[in-house]
Amino acid sequence: MSIRPAQITLGLTPRSRFDIADVAAKISHEYGDLLKDYRKITCCSFHTTAGYLEQQLCAKLHYSEKRLKQFIRIYQKLFPPNAGYLHDSTELREELSESEKERESVNADSHLTFMSAGLKNCVTYVNGPKLPIYFIDLDGVYKHHRRNRRTTILAYNNEEIVYHGRFFIPAAGEHPINAFNLKDPRYGLFLHLKDLVDSYGIDKGLIDIGLAQEERHAALTVNEYETLLIRNDLPRALSNPLRYIVRRGKKLLQNPASIPGKTRSYATYDIIHLYNELTKNVQLRPSVVEKVLSRLSTPISRIFRLKRHITLLVSNNADTGAGRIVQGTYQSPILLQRQMADKGVRCLEITLRNFG
């Protein structure tokens, strides 16, 4: 006799701005052996600066919290706080009231780190004895205020693919580097997804959204679609990664006119430190590191771990909100492109899974 899927929602209180919590250990402490009879575990974050890394990468890091922190800090060095991001210019944020501007976290670096390091809103792990599942928070504390974080865990044994099809997104624009909010009702994607979930009567499941195999120079992420962040800060990072490394030099920040002539020397200094951290701390092979870092000066840097697919949790549990497609308040699926799309259209492949 099969066991029905089990779902719980955890509240997490970060201890510091950058914090890592083992949700599997927390579940074991609070619920005992709830997960032991399940083959797979799906974890869903409701936030845009806190989420999960895929199991494959965590396995390469030997599920070590220390190595995981070292890995994330590499990307935090690429996107240091208070480096002149437009997203952090709250006076330009017209969607915020004056009181909201006072409380708004200065966190562009956290959003950019989330996307570039390959953090995801929703991941699925193959379950194992005492296997840690790390919830990674990049912006947990602001002005001594600790955020209230939530994550939903859905454990299951059986799944069935009930639908697979394609959906086309208009992706024309004036600039080769661009971003498109897939939650925009003009695309009709979420209405299509809702109809699919309703048609197949999915109470517990997943929606996988991926770029079609033929799509090139594009990626998908789930994050906050805030104009200054997505239309300004992120494209600048994708088009000129070295500029973000250079910004770490205080002398350059004090004298912006000196940047062009000193870019290479400062970049070389920081690349040496990045090299050392990648090889000694994260323990990646030197040949791999050299290949990655050698491309930092190219317009499209391969150091960014941008993804070709995203996942949305489907649940009828009241803890996850009114709609069955689970998303946090500020989360939006975002299509990123680094070159113009052929014929101005991008093709998505959608797979709907039902858990039993």
What is the pLDDT confidence band of residue 267, given thresholds at 50, 70 and 90? very low
Using an 8 Å Cβ cutoff, are 109 and 237 in contact? no
Q: Which residue has the higher pLDDT, 228 or 183?
A: 183
Residue with structure tokens 């940047």? 259
Does residue 282 surpass a pLDDT of 70? Answer: no
pLDDT at 210 over 90: yes
Q: Whole-prediction pTM value?
A: 0.83
Is pLDDT larger for residue 276 or for residue 307?
307
29-75: pLDDT as tens digits? 999 999 999 999 999 999 999 999 999 999 999 999 999 999 999 88
Is the model's pLDDT at 20 over the cut of 70?
A: yes
**290-326: per-residue pLDDT in tens?**
454 444 444 344 557 889 999 999 999 888 776 799 9
Q: What pLDDT, in 10s, does the model give residues 70-116?
A: 999 988 888 888 888 888 887 777 776 776 666 677 899 999 999 99
Percent of the chain with pLDDT over 70: 78
- What the block records as the tokens of 258 is 């000196």
Assign 245 a pLDDT band (cuts: 50, 70, 90): low
CB atoms within 10 A of CB 294: 11
- Residue 276: per-residue pLDDT: 52
Helix (H, G, I), strand (E, B) or coil at 117: coil
Maximum CA extent, the chain: 71
Q: Do the beta carbons of residue 128 and residue 24 sit within 8 Å?
A: no
Q: Which domains does the chain have, with CATH numbers?
A: 6-240+299-355 (2.60.120.460)
pLDDT category of residue 242 using cuts at 50, 70 and 90: low
Lowest mean pLDDT among 5-19, 21-35, 302-316, 339-353: 302-316
User: In angstroms, rounded to a whole number, what is the distance separating the alpha carbons of residues 155 and 315?
Assistant: 12
* Angstrom distance (rounded) from CA 219 to CA 212: 11
- The whole-angstrom separation of Cα 163 and Cα 202 is 11
Sequence-distant (6+) residues with CB within 8 A of 19 are 136, 137, 140
Do 176 and 285 contact (CB within 8 A), yes or no? no
Residue type, 80: P
CA distance 61 to 273: 20
CB 308 within 8 A of CB 190: no
Residue with tokens 């890394």: 53
> Over the stretch 124-137, which tens digit does the pLDDT of each residue have?
999 998 899 999 99
